[in-house]
Chain A
Amino acid sequence: EPEVTQTPSHQVTQMGQEVILRCVPISNHLYFYWYRQILGQKVEFLVSFYNNEISEKSEIFDDQFSVERPDGSNFTLKIRSTKLEDSAMYFCASSGRGQPAMYFGPGTRLTVT
C-alpha cells in the first residue's frame, strides 16, 4: 500500500541553525501539506501546496518557513533559523484529486537545543 515517507525520523539542531525536513508524498497525490504537533498539544496546520505553489498557510508559517518541491517526488520544509519553540513533531501529508482524505507520514521529531 502506498505511503508517505519522511526523513529524518529525528533531527537535533542548535537554535539559529537551518533545518530541512524531507517528505515523499504518495506518488499520484497532488496536494501536499505540513503539520506540526508540539508535545501534548493538538496537530496544527502549517501549509498546503498544490500545483507548485502554496495554496494556504497558517499564522504559524511565517517568514522563517519555506516549502519546496525540488523534483517530482520530494516535498521539503525548511526552517531558516530555528527557535526553541520550533521543537515538535512535523508531519507531512498528502491527498489525491477529488479525494479529501489526507494521509500522514511517520513524522520527523525536531529538537532545538
Chain B
Amino acid sequence: QKEVEQNSGPLSVPEGAIASLNCTYSDRGSQSFFWYRQYSGKSPELIMSIYSNGDKEDGRFTAQLNKASQYVSLLIRDSQPSDSATYLCAVTPRSQGNLIFGKGTKLSVKP
C-alpha cells in the first residue's frame, strides 16, 4: 500500500516567519512530487513541483526533496495570513500518473 504521511497540524506561525511543512512517502520508486494548497471548501491548487533531489525555489516557496530518505518538505518564507490553508503533499509513482495524497497539514499564520 503506497502511503504519503504528513503531520495534520495545526501548525501555527506568526506573520513574517518561516513555515516548514514535511512529508514522507513509502514508495521508493516515486518519481514526481507536488505541494498543493487547499483552502477550506475549495479545490487543490498546485504551488510547487519537484522531480530531482535538492531544493527548488519559486518566490517565497522552496521545495526540498531527499529521495534516499523518502522525504519532501516545503518552506514558506515571510508567511502571510493569506497563506493560512491546508497544504497537501502528493506523490506519483511514475513519470506520469495518478497522485497519492497525504492528509494535509493545516497552517495558520497569525497576524
Query: A14-22, A62-70, A79-87, A99-107: which lies at the B interface?
Result: A99-107
CA distance A56 to B100 in the complex (A): 13
Task: Please report which residues of chain A, range 55-113, place their CB below 8 angstroms from some CB of chain B when the two chains form the complex.
Answer: 55-56, 58, 89, 91, 95, 98-107
Q: How many A-B residue pairs have CB under 8 A?
A: 56
A interface vs B, CB < 8 Å?
Answer: 31, 33, 35, 41-45, 48, 55-56, 58, 89, 91, 95, 98-107
**B42 partner, pick from A55, A95, A98, A106, beta carbons under 8 A:** A106
B interface vs A, CB < 8 Å?
Answer: 31-32, 34, 36, 42-46, 49, 51, 88, 90, 92, 95-104
CA distance A36 to B51 in the complex (A): 25
Q: Is the CB of B104 within 8 A of A42?
A: yes
A56 neighbours in B (Cβ, 8 Å): 97-98
Q: Is the CB of A95 within 8 A of B43?
A: no
Q: Is the CB of A95 within 8 A of B96?
A: yes
Q: Is the CB of B44 within 8 A of A91?
A: yes
Q: Is the CB of A100 within 8 A of B96?
A: yes
CA distance A100 to B43 in the complex (A): 18
B31 neighbours in A (Cβ, 8 Å): 100
A42 neighbours in B (Cβ, 8 Å): 88, 101-104
A43 neighbours in B (Cβ, 8 Å): 44, 88, 90, 99, 101
Q: Is the CB of A105 within 8 A of B43?
A: yes
Q: Is the CB of A104 within 8 A of B45?
A: yes
A89 neighbours in B (Cβ, 8 Å): 43
CA distance A44 to B49 in the complex (A): 19
Q: Is the CB of A100 within 8 A of B98?
A: no
Q: Is the CB of A100 within 8 A of B32?
A: yes
CA distance A101 to B96 in the complex (A): 8
